[in-house]
Amino acid sequence: MSKQMCWLPIGGVDQEKVLHLRIEPNQSWQPYTAFPEYAVKDYDIPGGSKGYATYHQLRCQGWLLVSSLQ
Tens digits of residue pLDDT in 17-69: 999 999 999 999 999 999 999 999 999 998 888 999 999 999 999 999 999 87
Count of CB atoms situated within 10 Å of the CB of 67: 7
pLDDT at position 39 is 97
Whole-Å CA distances, 33 to 39, 69, 70: 6, 22, 22
pTM, rounded to two decimals: 0.89
Dump strand ranges (E) for 1-70: 4-9, 17-22, 30-31, 64-65
Q: How do residues 2-14 score in pLDDT, each as one tens digit?
A: 899 999 998 777 7
